[in-house]
Amino acid sequence: MTYIVQADLESRISPLVVRQILDDDLDGVPDAAALAQVIADAEGYVEGFLRGNYDLTAIRALGVAAPNEIKRLCLDVAVAYLVDRHPEYVRADGRKMMERARRDLMDLRKSVTRLDTVGTLEPAANQTHITESGDPDEAEAEEKFFIDRNSMGIF
């Protein structure tokens, strides 16, 4: 499930900043394990919002050729994680970056926004809307008054 790679992070925040944040052993290159963890965490977070609306198998099959919107959201989350990891290297607020990414992901989840693709990846237009039953004027749910399966009533 790799949608983003080191080169994507470097083009977003620069190779120097990626190295400064992820070079834990001070050998001059980003640590592979730390980099892989940041990417996996960001992609997992984004997939959590895509799950249920989008066919993750089809999106995962695309890999780094996934729609740009998925890559952008993964990069937004990954950079927020990196900023929180070492805030001294980036002049940004990681929490605000994560809040913005979460809002974007919620909009995608609610179908307010869509992926930048046309075709089989997009869910049906009515897939993500919530339908509830009950009295629209009364927000509180009523207790069921017949709960015995042997009686005549609602159970």
Q: What is the pLDDT of residue 88?
A: 85
Q: What is the pLDDT of residue 122?
A: 66
Q: Where are the domains of the chain?
A: 1-155
Q: What is the pLDDT of residue 95?
A: 93
Q: Give the Cα separation of 37 and 100 in Å (integer).
A: 21
**Exposed e or buried b per residue across 118-149, where buried means at least 16 C-beta atoms within 10 angstroms of its C-beta:** eeebbbeeeeeeeeeeeeeeeeeeeeeeeeee
pLDDT in tens, the chain (155 residues): 699 999 999 999 999 999 999 999 999 999 999 999 999 999 999 999 999 888 899 999 999 999 999 999 999 999 999 999 988 888 888 899 999 999 999 999 988 888 887 666 766 555 555 555 555 666 666 555 555 556 555 54
